[in-house]
Structure 1
Amino acid sequence: MLTLSKPCPNPHLLTYKPKTRPISLPLQISNSSLDPKRRTSHKAFSISTSQTSNTSYVSKQAKPVQLKPAIGMWTLCGLGYCVQGFRCFPWLGLNFHLAQGIGLSPGALQLVQNFSNLPLVAKPLFGVISDAVYIGGAHRLPYISIGVCLQLVSWGTLALIPPTANTFPTQMACIILSNVGASVTEVATDALVTEFSRAAETGELQSYAFIALSAGSLLGNLSGGYALLYTHDPKLLFMTFSFFLVQQLSLALSTKERTIERRHIGTIPLRDNLQSQISNFVQAVSERQILYPLCWIIGSVAFVPILSGSIFCFQTQILNLDPSIIGLSKVVGQLFVISATLLYNRFLKRIPLRTLVSGLQVMYAFALLSDLLLVKQINLSLGISNEIYVLSLSALAEAIAQFKLLPFTVLLSSLCPRGCEGSLLAFFASGVVLASIVGGFLGVGLSCLIGVSAANYSNLPVGIIVQFLAALVPFCWISCLPLDWSPEDKKVRRNDERKRNFLLQKKIE
């Protein structure tokens, strides 16, 4: 739980006329049951299969009209991010099942977590397809429905098969399929938010998405801990999550995707359409304003070895903490994310990006170091019980790492060329996931190097200190971030747009 803009026209279809500027309005979602009075007119039309085909391309160069997002869009995206955050609910049960039911070691548990996240790296592919390929005249809602169906099949299967070591390969296949579905759904939802953010106040929709994501995570961790404590049955968690997926699928199927804009519609071969979309995406990512911040955030995540599996096993096997305590600690972390997001939308977005991110990175480093007090049991000498300490600080580093993505989401969404909403935000999300996987494998290697195992945690403090030092290394390339940019900046890159349009016109001529 992945906003700056400029047009990105298709060079195969775009034609130029002297002193003529095309007009375009942003994509709008409306629910027929929520907005029955909305009808198309000469300024608005609804995409249908009679107007476009699956390979239709739409030129989206234009000045956006400031419209409030439809109620259906708010509901669909809010529920989507909430369900995305609620995925921690079945994952909490899955982690306890893998660690205690099957008996995986800390390193093996972390390997399973990282390997299962590999489908999330394919998000750019899903983003390009979502931007270029229309299904039934729509290119967001169908992908949300497909992704939800994949998740529903995977978690429903996990709820039905026996949770034993003999079924472990089937469980892994279901976990991977679930993450494939989650990737497709998240890409389409992120693209919707990016498109609508052009018609709203800068950062407003991104903050709304972060709050919905954190609220879902808060609910999932809170209820997941108590569910495991009183039932000790992961299948109940899998079945409950499947019920929420059914609700999301029902809303996606009952919501119509409607485009309110004047634009030129043409039908071209799917291959040419995809090639054009990939070319525009590569051109967008190659721009310094986008590439440099991407390199910093991805590098800052990848460089820090993650010891979450070792810390989790230490808390459950050595400290013997109840599942409810682990879940409540995540709840506290998500409360921090929600509070920080509200502060960001109100005050923090006025702070220049480099200054804000630098402060967050320092906080992240010291939050990682706080685990040292728990492992060395210094908290007991200070009169703080393990339960209170874990509740207060255990999930702080994870919460800061999650919130740190918000300023970059706003930045990239603001710079995102029109027509590349799905692919660019998907590239950002997959880059962060890939960096997390790299950090996870570094954490596994570090655990093996210092000799951390299920029977020996004596060298875990060394790993925590290495984590702290690694979190400070990204300051070496902090200059990649813009010095004075903030979401309050209303500057539009007119020169870049004119230059791009001029070059495209020359290429066509």
Structure 2
Amino acid sequence: MLVSSSGLSKVKDSVKEKIFFGNEPTSELLAILTVYFVQGILGLARLAVSFFLKDELLLTPAQVSALFGIVALPWIIKPLFGFISDGLPIFGYRRRPYLVLSGILGAISWVSLATIVHTPIAATLAIALGSLSVAVSDVIVDSLVVERARAESQAQAGSLQSLSWSTSALGGLITAYFSGMLLEHFTTRTVFWITASFPLIVSAVAWFIAESPVNKNASEGDDSNFQSITHQLQQLRKAITQKAIWLPTAFLFLWQATPTAESAFFFFTTNELHFEPEFLGRVRLVTSIASLVGIWIFQRFLKTVPFRVIFAWSTVLSTVLGMTMLLLVTHANRSLGIDDRWFSLGDSLILTVMGQIAYMPVLVLAARLCPPGVEATLFALLMSVTNLAGLVSYELGAGLMHWLGITETNFNALWVLVIITNLSTLLPLPFINWLPAADSQNETPTLSPTSTNSGEQPFLPEFISKLIVREPKSEPVD
């Protein structure tokens, strides 16, 4: 019996270390990971949305790019959701009710797409509602992770973020192939019906979040809320007025705001190369696996590498490798004896790994900057800057597509768009000194609630890893 107990204990320790990256697998942690998992699963409808806009609503590449920019708006006002969550509890709770609400909104969004949406305007509203749902849940779950990551030891730094994003990538991995396979056998609206069930899982697991009521009694509720809001504003003012925070955030805005060719490339692969949904599902499967590989590489080898080094090299290498798309859009790969499908798979694999490696250090920095009490607000405020840049990116891309005459059937100038979008990513690099110069990521100091403008503190930016990957920069359809 003693041997059996000892063996069971070793198994539990092994599971904790290998699967949960050293974090205790409590019911609350499983609930948090479930929210990230659902965010990955929602990728099941990503291809369905793209084909729905292209084939059923008959939108052009420029129109699709403009639409994606519009539906990214909820991600720009994420600070509002964090502010409300931190300062205005519902029935005394700051997290659970908002997760429940986000799940309900998500279900309504997908049901609407499956039934009553027949015009571009209606589609924009429905997809924006789904974007709002994910944005709200993302704010809440990020704040939960930040609160818990602050207690991590130096040796565990980044482990909770790595675990969270691994779970999201796993959700995407499971549904990646099926996102294309389902479209081979069912309509886009059927896929929307299936997807509508997933947000309700978020509503269900919200009750497993360990949270104590903020207010002791109703009579003190209003005063407590007012004091909480006042405290938040004071903390935010101290944080955002620091040069070492807004300067690097401005750098990331410039980088993220570069135009994207994503919509044009999707039309090219489906209308020109005739990639069927099932194959595009395979591409998503490969990129999901590559995302997990990128997380593992960072966790295993790169946690102590200075952020500037990872950021600069990943930007340069992704730009150089991104130029390989020219071979595909000019069909030069065929002259080299490389099939279109194999070329597309390999290209997506490499760029996804690099994108995830570049993204992980930002999550570590983010968790170490948020002062207690305003985790959701500050986290959302600073990363909304890059979400705004994502909107700019889509609209610039739409303008370039219109200017170059790229349509659903005319791709003669696509190679020009590829060159412009890739080279533009390099433009902010002369200002890379705006980023923090910590010797290593693990040495990044924490932003304290009483820090002043004179203190040299690190920053809290967020850039979307999909900037490097061949995916939308924002997250309108996840």
**What TM-score, normalized by structure 2, do the two folds share?**
0.83
Q: Compared with structure 1, are the counterparts of its residues 370 and 115 closer, same or farther at alpha carbon in structure 2 (3 Å cutoff)?
A: same
Work out the CA distance in 2 between the residues paired with 1:344 and 1:388: 26
Q: Does 1:208 align with 2:163?
A: yes
Work out the CA distance in 2 between the residues paired with 1:282 and 1:497: 11
The residue aligned with 2:300 is 346
Q: Does 1:326 align with 2:277?
A: no
Contact 2:294 2:356 in 1 (8 A): no
1:375 to 329, 333, 347: 329
Q: CA RMSD in A?
A: 2.5
Q: Does 1:221 align with 2:199?
A: no
Q: Matched residue of 2:196: which SS?
A: helix
Q: Compared with structure 1, are the counterparts of its residues 330 and 429 closer, same or farther at alpha carbon in structure 2 (3 Å cutoff)?
A: farther
Q: Compared with structure 1, are the counterparts of its residues 403 and 435 closer, same or farther at alpha carbon in structure 2 (3 Å cutoff)?
A: farther
The residue aligned with 1:236 is 190
Work out the CA distance in 2 between the residues paired with 1:276 and 1:255: 24
Contact 1:221 1:330 in 2 (8 A): yes
What amino acid does structure 2 have at the position aligned with 1:368? G
Contact 1:118 1:434 in 2 (8 A): yes
1:481 to 421, 435, 452: 435
Q: Matched residue of 1:415: which SS?
A: coil
Residue 460 of structure 1 and its aligned partner are, at CA, apart by 0.8
1:426 to 350, 357, 380: 380
- Deviation track 1:12-65 (CA, whole Å, cap 9, x = no partner) reads xxxxxxxxxxxxxxxxxxxxxxxxxxxxxxxxxxxxxxxxxxxxxxxxxxxxxx
The residue aligned with 1:358 is 312
Contact 1:69 1:199 in 2 (8 A): no
- Superposition pairs for residues 98-247 of structure 1, below 5 Å? 98-161=53-116, 164-165=118-119, 168-200=120-152, 201-231=156-186, 233-247=187-201
Q: Does 1:467 align with 2:421?
A: yes
Q: Compared with structure 1, are the counterparts of its residues 399 and 442 closer, same or farther at alpha carbon in structure 2 (3 Å cutoff)?
A: farther
- Deviation track 1:102-145 (CA, whole Å, cap 9, x = no partner) reads 21111111111111111211101111111112222221122111
Structure 2: 5+ residue runs without aligned partners? 1-21, 454-478
Q: Compared with structure 1, are the counterparts of its residues 485 and 282 closer, same or farther at alpha carbon in structure 2 (3 Å cutoff)?
A: farther
The residue aligned with 1:435 is 389
What amino acid does structure 2 have at the position aligned with 1:369? M
Work out the CA distance in 1 between the residues paired with 2:72 and 2:227: 31
Residue 353 of structure 1 and its aligned partner are, at CA, apart by 0.8
Work out the CA distance in 1 between the residues paired with 2:250 and 2:126: 32
Residue 492 of structure 1 and its aligned partner are, at CA, apart by 5.6
The residue aligned with 2:240 is 285
The residue aligned with 1:59 is none
Work out the CA distance in 2 between the residues paired with 1:439 and 1:396: 23
Which one has the bigger helix percentage? Answer: 2
Work out the CA distance in 1 between the residues paired with 2:283 and 2:416: 24
Q: Matched residue of 1:455: which SS?
A: coil
Contact 1:222 1:328 in 2 (8 A): yes
What amino acid does structure 2 have at the position aligned with 1:187? V
- Deviation track 1:74-127 (CA, whole Å, cap 9, x = no partner) reads 212211112112222213201101101221111111111111111211101111
Aligned residues: 424
Residue 199 of structure 1 and its aligned partner are, at CA, apart by 1.9
- Deviation track 1:258-295 (CA, whole Å, cap 9, x = no partner) reads 489xxxx9752644532431231132122233323322
The residue aligned with 1:81 is 36
What amino acid does structure 2 have at the position aligned with 1:106? P
The residue aligned with 2:228 is 273
Larger radius of gyration: 1
Contact 2:53 2:64 in 1 (8 A): yes
1:97 to 52, 58, 67: 52
Q: Matched residue of 1:472: which SS?
A: coil
Residue 361 of structure 1 and its aligned partner are, at CA, apart by 0.8
Q: Matched residue of 2:211: which SS?
A: strand
Q: Does 1:449 align with 2:407?
A: no
Q: Compared with structure 1, are the counterparts of its residues 481 and 490 closer, same or farther at alpha carbon in structure 2 (3 Å cutoff)?
A: closer
What amino acid does structure 2 have at the position aligned with 1:190? D
Work out the CA distance in 2 between the residues paired with 1:297 and 1:330: 26
Contact 1:84 1:182 in 2 (8 A): yes
Work out the CA distance in 2 between the residues paired with 1:490 and 1:471: 26
Contact 1:203 1:487 in 2 (8 A): no
What amino acid does structure 2 have at the position aligned with 1:94? V
Work out the CA distance in 2 between the residues paired with 1:397 and 1:499: 39
Q: Matched residue of 2:89: which SS?
A: coil
Residue 316 of structure 1 and its aligned partner are, at CA, apart by 0.3
Residue 396 of structure 1 and its aligned partner are, at CA, apart by 4.9
Q: Identify which range, 72-81 or 470-479, moves more after superposition.
A: 72-81
Q: Does 1:405 align with 2:353?
A: no
Which one has the bigger strand percentage? Answer: 1
Percent same amino acid at aligned positions? Answer: 27
Contact 1:145 1:252 in 2 (8 A): yes
Work out the CA distance in 2 between the residues paired with 1:380 and 1:415: 49
Q: Matched residue of 2:157: which SS?
A: coil
Structure 1: 5+ residue runs without aligned partners? 1-66, 501-509
What amino acid does structure 1 have at the position aligned with 2:144? L
